[in-house]
Structure 1
Amino acid sequence: MITIAVATPVGAVEMAGEPADALVRPELIVTGEKIARPLQRTTASVSVTSADTIAKQDLLTVYDVLDRIPNVMVDGNRTTFSIRGIDAFNVSGSGEGPLASVYLDGAALPRLVLASGPLDLFDISRVEVFRGPQSTLQGRNSLAGVVLVNTVDPDFDWSGKARLLLSQEGGGRRAAMALGGPVVQDQLAFRISGEALQADGFARSATTGRYADQRQALTMRGKILITPDAVPKLSVLAAVTHDRHERGAFYIELDPPFAGRDRLVTSDFPDVRQVGSTLGTVTARYDLSPQSKLTLLSNLSRFRFRSSADADRSATAGQISLIDEPTTSFQNEIRFQFRQSWATGLIGAFFLREKRDYLFSSHQRLSLKSLGVPWQLQAAGISPETVDTVIALYGGALPIQNSLSQPQSVQNFAAFADFSIPLTSRVHVRLGLRYDHEAQTRSVSQTAAIDQALPDPAQSPSPALAPIVSQLNSSLRTLVAGANGSDRARRVAYDAWLPLMAVTYDLSDKLAISGSIRRGYRAGGSGINQQRGEAFRYGPEYTTSYEASMRSNLFDRRLTFNANLFWTDWEQQQIALQLTAGSLFDSQIVNAGRSRLYGFELEASVTPIDALSFQFGSGYTRTRFSGPAPHPGFADMDLQGKEFPRAPRWTMSAGASYARCRGFVADINAHYRSPYFQTLTDQNDRDIPGRTIISGKVGWKARAVSAYLTARNIFNVQQREQFFLDVDGRKRGAVSDPRILGFVLEGHI
């Protein structure tokens, strides 16, 4: 099918041995706003992908889901995504926390974990993607939106499944199983699941001849549900997930003599990113009365991201960079929920403590161009020809070794409330408010040194070059010495009030329209100028989003059509600006940006008969910086009128599915995105072309065993999806995966 399970019923979980015609199409319930609401009462723009849709479309990771949702775009290497044109990490290369959060069973995943972490979809019950600011209820790092991933919970009926997926070369092999059932009937139930992945990938090293993007993963999960007879109104759900993911090279060569379809890298040292995760969550619910309940959620998570890479991505030996980022987070949330004739709502409090260490070390050759040296020499009156000769004496690079340590701790406290009040039988008002307090403590330490001899002025090919080389040597030594620095642990704190207001009018019991105003927020932070070794700080940024929505559910829910219009103003935007023109490392973050974005989402689903369904989704987003002009004291960088990078204007998806619980099944789906700008600075042409990917699946489903043939990217579309100009001046990036044929064998009880 397609993208939008907005129309896929939450309760429509397929059960083995039950004919499809017996399935009931209950009203879709959205849970991501902490109160379970029918979609018709949810004013936020949300897509819900159910376990049924995940199975029908053979979706393997959360990125597969995101790639099919209107106004959501996944980057070429599947390390980040954007919602309504806002990249989940940042728009302008800046900011401490993400702009969108991903939660797994209530645990927030750190930023770097999203590059290669626990995002596989086996034994997942649903994925909810909220577009637009969710800062009132979800709090920290949800200015652009939120992705909520929920795994299958235990129950008191035995169930199990197993899956074996075999793909052609590069696509990999997956094996998975899940089993659950009662331990003590009606009091204690369990569910365990696991999945293993092994894939060679599609890229090879032109230097070593080996596979360069191999992937492997192991995910194990256990869940326990306790509903004790001794305390009949209490339920406790405990979940533990342990995960290890590893993947290879991210960027292939795009410049001649290579082509993107060659999928080659030139590194002599393999790039490897490893993520280890352990997440433990306990959710306790107690029914105080039929109209009220108390919920307590506690989570303790440990993550470790490690990266080793060829610093210059070439065949030159000895260029290595290492990153080690361990993160520990603890969060508590308590909510009181009630339902009365005059209002439905909740009151709650949230606390987060996160500790993160970031350690970076490298031996590398920094491009003199990336340091702005050619520009500075020409600014001193030296001719371009002479500049080229001088740069050649250095081999175009400065050999250095450096290390950077940035330990940080964050404490976030919030109190929030959300009420839905019926003014009449047709008019409902929703009011929400959050007080958010965030405190950050960070220290920074950086060392840098030149680790090879610089050119000897006396050995210059021309006497006229000797003073230039001598002066440049002195400047480079001063530059590297200035990069050494530290900033003792300092504490910064931010406070914000984040309101929400919405009005819903029921035109009928099948059709509703709404309007809402939401405040979005990301706290400020601090950093270090890597070239100068100087610490800096910056303040929070805010968005105000205005939305109008329509929700419909017609003909016994056989036809749904939902739409959202939005307009967002962004103020005090955190922008990374350069202090020295041409120098990539001489930059810092300031609150100098102002922008706006607007657009719409349309999603529809038609089920003419129980076994056949059609879906369609479309999203349109326009983004534009509206100011200011260059920031005083910084190199020229006028953002006026520019669009956000990685922000396609159009995203579309469509699909059809035929499936019965027993018998022939088939699915065809397509998703399209229009061209977009790769960077913020160079926007002469939309340098990432538009593309349409079509995938499908056919097979047979029996009572206990099913078998399918799958095809991803049927027409073998291989287009550039990401690129950047590397420090050596070469273009590197990512190309869409080629056609992948696979065979899936499943068993279920």
Structure 2
Amino acid sequence: MSFRSAEPVFLTSVRAEVVWYRSIRAIRVRRAIALLIVLFGNPAAFADPVGRDPWQGVEQLEVVGESNARDLLKAPESIVAFDETDIERFGINDVRDAFRLVPNTNSSPSYRGNNGVTIRGINSEGVSGPTGNLRPLASLVIDGATQSFAGLRRGARGLWDVDRVEIFRGPQSTLQGRNSLAGAILIQTNDPTYHWEGAARASVSNFLHPNPSSQEPDIWDAAFALSGPVIDHQLAFRIAGEIQRDEHGIKATDPNPGDPSWGDLDRGEYQQIRGKLLFEPNALKGLRLEVSAAYTQDDPAVPLVTDRLRRPPSSPGVDPSDPRFAPTRYHQYRLQDEGTNTERRSSSVLNVTGDAQYRVNRDWFIHSVTSWTGTDVKFDTPNPEVYWRPETREDSDFSQDLRATYQPSDDLSVMVGAFFARAVNETDSFIGSGFGGFLFTIQDRYTKRENVSAAFLAEVRWRVFEPLSITAGFRWDHDRYRYLVQCRDLAAARCDSLDLLQFSGSTNAYLPRVTLLYEPIVDHEFGVTISQGYRAGFVSNTSEVDPEQLWNYELSYRGVYLDGRLMVRANAFYYDWADMQVNVGTRSEEDIRNAGSARLAGAEVSIGLEPFDGLSLLASFGYLSTEWIEFKGSEQNEGNEFPESPPFSVSILGAYRHESGWFLAADWSWRDDFFATGSVANDRVVPSYHVLNARMGFELDKVSVSLSVRNVLDKKFLAGRDDFGGTYVGDRRLIGVDTQISF
């Protein structure tokens, strides 16, 4: 299959883009089916001799986002995991950056940075955009603390001093519970140690076309970590911190001299400080207590640009002859007429987690995770005479997860658990618009959303006989929700009363999950999984919205070849999604209803190869098909595809390390065309693009120095579009130097 250019000739008719895009889809589907037939061909022909270590030569990673940890190669779920070495080797800056290496996922900076992440075509904010539900469709969990909507948009995204990142593609509602209908992202930071160790990192990077107005590097980063004992083999600590500042070289033309409205949109700043305490008392063998706290401030850059083929028509306040309205393409990296309603949003996040583990005896193990997350979002409008929005949003999320596991043998394990959570969002919103020296109120109200969840869960894993095993689990989930709203100005939009209005409701759900694993030949395991995804109901404005449910039917294959040097992981899935919570109104006048149903199908294939010591290769492929079956109130969208859902995606990674310390790593990723964020009408397309990154350097025992080049080919590409008309670019060629010292 030939890859189209990342800079295609622009099609002046959007509909022409869509027709052309769909005309090649059938050809690509046939090629995908042929590829799967080849990959699943005849594993017996490559079977290895019985009796050897089946994972020899293939790096083992434990999946911790399950009821009990097991090897990544043996897990039937579609999981991509990056350990600390991978994060450093491939220069994965933050959790969103990891998505570029994971097919069938996407992370676009749309909606001026107020966008979620997409897993198998499902945006964590909602396929049709944000709905007001406190529970996103995908969860981000950091050291056991589940992040809020705002925390997933901007928050504790850095990956410095992180042990591992796991991205689960597919519903995880039975074990992970809330916020995981689409999937889950789990981050585990490094634990304290009983020996002294530390590290420090400094890096600077510049674009090929630097911003001449800046005297600093375009991107710079500094970080440290320190760990050691307080009481030998009983009490240890760890502290880590990171600061990063970045500017992406987008030239902004201010509407008025000295007006800062646009100039700082592509500038970002990130800061985090994190601490951990580990306590393992000698007086109570088998007990492990860990407390962690992390504070993050995040104000990410927004790579918004102007992309206009022709001058706009004359209208009040718009002079088409103004140079700001001249035709401008995205590859010029210019922002000319962002508008007067510019706003910046910054977040501060505090995560506090208590993790208690107790090995009662050989068979029994108890695990408790208590967490609280507080997220504050503040709005800044640099042009308050025209547009003023001093809005604040506060999220508070408390959860308690308690599980007990009984495992008398390798053939049987039983897990039972209970879960409780309370999430609260309070928004104090004022929006004003200035004209002729007067400020007119657009919105002035206070809202409070509350969700309380309680659940019981259980899972049994049983090896029935040597080639066959079964895993069966369920979760009973009860949700109670409440919505309060009070308007403070009758002249404001959507404000008919100054009374405090209250709405409440509750829902129950039973979420089963069954997996059958069959290993007819040593090192070749086939699996079938049936599971249900779920998101609770809520109140939108004055309307009650019912829960939405998704049934997942999934096949899996895991195989090891060539004495453990070749590994194949493959998953194929089909989703039946009903009672979808979608917006049948407009962005300014939302109307959220259970108005949708959809079908999704796809596959992920990952092939890892270690041809000789020191060299590791990994190729991953993704195929995705999405379709709206029903869209009440907007029937014209039925048959359309989901936004941010490229039919094909590819990622290829390679790394080599010589015994002398020299290393080289590179990754290449490609995304097929996809529709813009929120474009359920399929009227805005993001063209396909591909990006090559490389890193080389030298490692000694305590020091490493590396040179990195991101976007080696200097491709100018679109990273996203949205249905608000926003256009967002990917970074141009970026050259950086990184130095790290450990002790």
Q: TM-score range by the shorter chain?
A: 0.7 to 0.9
In structure 2, the CA distance between the partners of 1:24 and 1:640, relative to structure 1 (3 Å rule), is closer
User: Is contact 1:204–1:211 with CA below 8 Å preserved after alignment?
Assistant: no
User: Is contact 1:296–1:333 with CA below 8 Å preserved after alignment?
Assistant: yes
Question: What is the distance in 2 between the residues matched to 1:747 and 1:480?
Answer: 57
> Which of 578, 588, 591 in structure 2 is aligned with 1:588?
591
Counterpart AA for 1:224 = L
Asked if 1:299 is matched to 2:375, the reply is: no
Structure 1 residue 567 displacement after superposition: 0.3
Report the counterpart of residue 745 of structure 1 in structure 2: 739
Question: What is the distance in 1 between the residues matched to 2:420 and 2:494?
Answer: 41
1:647 is paired with a residue whose SS is coil
Structure 1 residue 268 displacement after superposition: 6.1
In structure 2, the CA distance between the partners of 1:684 and 1:704, relative to structure 1 (3 Å rule), is closer
Structure 1 residue 663 displacement after superposition: 1.7
In structure 2, the CA distance between the partners of 1:594 and 1:25, relative to structure 1 (3 Å rule), is closer
Report the counterpart of residue 369 of structure 1 in structure 2: none
In structure 2, the CA distance between the partners of 1:263 and 1:485, relative to structure 1 (3 Å rule), is farther
Report the more deviating stretch, 551-560 or 493-502.
551-560
Asked if 1:575 is matched to 2:582, the reply is: yes
Report the counterpart of residue 411 of structure 1 in structure 2: 452
> Which of 541, 555, 558 in structure 1 is aligned with 2:565?
558
1:60 is paired with a residue whose SS is coil
In structure 2, the CA distance between the partners of 1:405 and 1:637, relative to structure 1 (3 Å rule), is farther
Count of aligned pairs: 647
Question: What is the distance in 2 between the residues matched to 1:671 and 1:720?
Answer: 14
Question: What is the distance in 2 between the residues matched to 1:741 and 1:200?
Answer: 14
Which structure has the larger Rg? 1
Report the counterpart of residue 263 of structure 1 in structure 2: 334
Asked if 1:329 is matched to 2:397, the reply is: yes
User: Is contact 1:183–1:189 with CA below 8 Å preserved after alignment?
Assistant: yes
In structure 2, the CA distance between the partners of 1:203 and 1:162, relative to structure 1 (3 Å rule), is same
User: Is contact 2:246–2:301 with CA below 8 Å preserved after alignment?
Assistant: no
Report the counterpart of residue 554 of structure 2 in structure 1: 547
Question: What is the distance in 2 between the residues matched to 1:650 and 1:263?
Answer: 30
Alignment of 1:317-716 (within 5 A): 317-341=385-409, 343-364=412-433, 400-447=441-488, 480=493, 488-528=501-541, 535-578=542-585, 584-628=587-631, 630-631=632-633, 636-660=634-658, 662-678=660-676, 683=681, 687-716=685-714
Report the counterpart of residue 194 of structure 2 in structure 1: 156
Report the more deviating stretch, 423-432 or 199-208.
199-208
In structure 2, the CA distance between the partners of 1:509 and 1:322, relative to structure 1 (3 Å rule), is farther
In structure 2, the CA distance between the partners of 1:177 and 1:556, relative to structure 1 (3 Å rule), is farther
Question: What is the distance in 2 between the residues matched to 1:506 and 1:118?
Answer: 40
Question: What is the distance in 1 between the residues matched to 2:590 and 2:664?
Answer: 53
Counterpart AA for 1:90 = G
Question: What is the distance in 2 between the residues matched to 1:286 and 1:24?
Answer: 33
Structure 1 residue 365 displacement after superposition: 7.4
1:610 is paired with a residue whose SS is coil
In structure 2, the CA distance between the partners of 1:204 and 1:249, relative to structure 1 (3 Å rule), is farther
2:238 is paired with a residue whose SS is strand
Question: What is the distance in 2 between the residues matched to 1:647 and 1:687?
Answer: 11
Question: What is the distance in 1 between the residues matched to 2:677 and 2:232?
Answer: 58
User: Is contact 2:720–2:727 with CA below 8 Å preserved after alignment?
Assistant: yes
1:1-53: CA deviation from partner (whole Å, max 9, x where unpaired): xxxxxxxxxxxxxxxxxxxxxx9855332111131122344221111111111
Structure 1 residue 514 displacement after superposition: 0.3
In structure 2, the CA distance between the partners of 1:297 and 1:556, relative to structure 1 (3 Å rule), is farther
Report the counterpart of residue 22 of structure 2 in structure 1: none
Question: What is the distance in 1 between the residues matched to 2:680 and 2:422?
Answer: 39
Structure 1 residue 655 displacement after superposition: 2.0
1:218-243: CA deviation from partner (whole Å, max 9, x where unpaired): 11111111111111111111111111
Report the counterpart of residue 734 of structure 1 in structure 2: 728
Question: What is the distance in 1 between the residues matched to 2:636 and 2:398?
Answer: 41
1:66 is paired with a residue whose SS is helix
Question: What is the distance in 2 between the residues matched to 1:679 and 1:216?
Answer: 25
2:176 is paired with a residue whose SS is coil
Counterpart AA for 1:288 = V
Structure 1 residue 188 displacement after superposition: 1.4
In structure 2, the CA distance between the partners of 1:179 and 1:25, relative to structure 1 (3 Å rule), is farther
Question: What is the distance in 2 between the residues matched to 1:81 and 1:621?
Answer: 16
Report the more deviating stretch, 695-704 or 714-723.
714-723
Report the more deviating stretch, 326-335 or 714-723.
714-723
User: Is contact 1:204–1:213 with CA below 8 Å preserved after alignment?
Assistant: no
Report the more deviating stretch, 586-595 or 60-69.
586-595
Alignment of 1:70-89 (within 5 A): 70-77=103-110, 79-89=115-125
Structure 1 residue 662 displacement after superposition: 4.7
Structure 1 residue 213 displacement after superposition: 2.4
Question: What is the distance in 2 between the residues matched to 1:748 and 1:414?
Answer: 44
1:183 is paired with a residue whose SS is strand
User: Is contact 2:58–2:566 with CA below 8 Å preserved after alignment?
Assistant: no
Asked if 1:63 is matched to 2:123, the reply is: no
Q: Percent identity?
A: 26
Question: What is the distance in 1 between the residues matched to 2:487 and 2:59?
Answer: 58
Report the more deviating stretch, 246-255 or 685-694.
246-255
In structure 2, the CA distance between the partners of 1:334 and 1:405, relative to structure 1 (3 Å rule), is same
Counterpart AA for 1:154 = P
Structure 1 residue 400 displacement after superposition: 4.2
Structure 1 residue 290 displacement after superposition: 1.2
Question: What is the distance in 2 between the residues matched to 1:354 and 1:482?
Answer: 26
**Structure 2-normalised TM-score?**
0.83
Report the counterpart of residue 349 of structure 2 in structure 1: 277
Counterpart AA for 2:728 = A
User: Is contact 1:492–1:525 with CA below 8 Å preserved after alignment?
Assistant: yes
Question: What is the distance in 1 between the residues matched to 2:552 and 2:101?
Answer: 24
User: Is contact 2:355–2:370 with CA below 8 Å preserved after alignment?
Assistant: yes
Question: What is the distance in 2 between the residues matched to 1:40 and 1:585?
Answer: 47
User: Is contact 1:448–1:481 with CA below 8 Å preserved after alignment?
Assistant: no
Question: What is the distance in 1 between the residues matched to 2:283 and 2:694?
Answer: 50
> Which of 172, 176, 199 in structure 2 is aligned with 1:134?
172
Question: What is the distance in 2 between the residues matched to 1:660 and 1:280?
Answer: 41
Question: What is the distance in 1 between the residues matched to 2:595 and 2:231?
Answer: 60
Counterpart AA for 2:422 = R
User: Is contact 1:401–1:449 with CA below 8 Å preserved after alignment?
Assistant: no
Structure 1 residue 615 displacement after superposition: 0.9
Question: What is the distance in 1 between the residues matched to 2:136 and 2:649?
Answer: 23
Question: What is the distance in 1 between the residues matched to 2:459 and 2:723?
Answer: 47
Report the counterpart of residue 63 of structure 2 in structure 1: 30
Structure 1 residue 585 displacement after superposition: 2.9
Alignment of 1:113-262 (within 5 A): 113-168=151-206, 169=210, 171-207=218-254, 208=259, 210-249=263-302, 251-255=304-308, 256-257=325-326, 258-260=328-330, 261-262=332-333
In structure 2, the CA distance between the partners of 1:360 and 1:608, relative to structure 1 (3 Å rule), is same
User: Is contact 2:199–2:742 with CA below 8 Å preserved after alignment?
Assistant: yes
User: Is contact 2:303–2:730 with CA below 8 Å preserved after alignment?
Assistant: no
Question: What is the distance in 2 between the residues matched to 1:158 and 1:174?
Answer: 24
In structure 2, the CA distance between the partners of 1:420 and 1:672, relative to structure 1 (3 Å rule), is same
Question: What is the distance in 2 between the residues matched to 1:684 and 1:199?
Answer: 33
Structure 1 residue 269 displacement after superposition: 7.7
In structure 2, the CA distance between the partners of 1:399 and 1:250, relative to structure 1 (3 Å rule), is farther
Question: What is the distance in 2 between the residues matched to 1:250 and 1:320?
Answer: 22
In structure 2, the CA distance between the partners of 1:661 and 1:272, relative to structure 1 (3 Å rule), is farther
